[in-house]
Amino acid sequence: MGRLQGKVAIVTGAAGGMGKADALLFAKEGAKLAITDLQQDKLQEVVREIKQNGGEAIGFSHNVASEEDWIRVVEETVAHYGKIDILVNNAGISSAIPFLETSVEQWDKVMSINVTGTFLGQKHVIPHMINNGGGSIVNISSIAGLTGGSGAGAYTASKGAVRMLTKATAIDYAKHSIRVNSVHPGYIATPMTVDLFADEGMKQWFLSQTPLPRLGNPEDIAAGVLFLASDESSFITGIELPIDGGYYAK
């Protein structure tokens, strides 16, 4: 308890899945939360859950591909809490469209949310972190950002871009004591993957790709995100952390 005591954190895509798990764990560890999503009903449920458990949270409707939305979220967070210590760029979309069937519109949508959303979050939060004397940014990539895969060219490219943007930002802002790291989830049971894993044949295939004999859950990812967000990782920046049951070790 208290690993983020006194810290202010923005977590995007927090209405469910990994973002919700991050927000709940951060609040339990003492952080003050600004959580964002386009799914407002579910997001406000998370806000209520945090408050009922004694935490502090505010929620914003937020399209991460919109610079105007980012400016508003950051300004209102600072107005409410006075600072920003932590940013978790979690919001994203998946895409399993074969490469030659991918339209420019589909490509642009994946890139705008997964890559531009991460870029904009960093762009508008970093100046406040500089003023604060430091901070921690955790960008959620994927094992698809570490290895090639079939049938998801746009998604794989976007998550690879998040990985390298993380490294570039880490180098540029280390002198300001701002740490930037990426987390690379493996096969995780979330609302985004529920239909995929509902097919028993597909579920068994994914399990066969993971040395540890189970699918991951959002809490597995949240534990790693918490470590990178906290002062426990104060000498860690620019890394990629796979949380994948051993997939990347193969």
Q: Which residues are catalytic?
A: 155
DSSP state of 176: G
- Residue 158, token pair as written in the block: 């976007």
Gap between the Cα atoms of 52 and 197, Å rounded: 32
Gap between the Cα atoms of 5 and 230, Å rounded: 9
Is residue 176 within 8 A of residue 220, CB to CB? The reply is no
Gap between the Cα atoms of 163 and 219, Å rounded: 21
Gap between the Cα atoms of 242 and 159, Å rounded: 13
Gap between the Cα atoms of 175 and 233, Å rounded: 16
| Strands 135-140 and 178-185, sheet pairing | parallel
Helix (H) or strand (E) holding 37: strand 32-37
DSSP class per residue in 208-227: HT-SSSS-B-HHHHHHHHHH
Burial of residue 117 (number of CB atoms within 10 Å: 0-12, 13-18, 19+): buried
Instruction: Give the residue from 242, 222, 213, 202 showing the smallest Cα distance to 96.
Output: 202
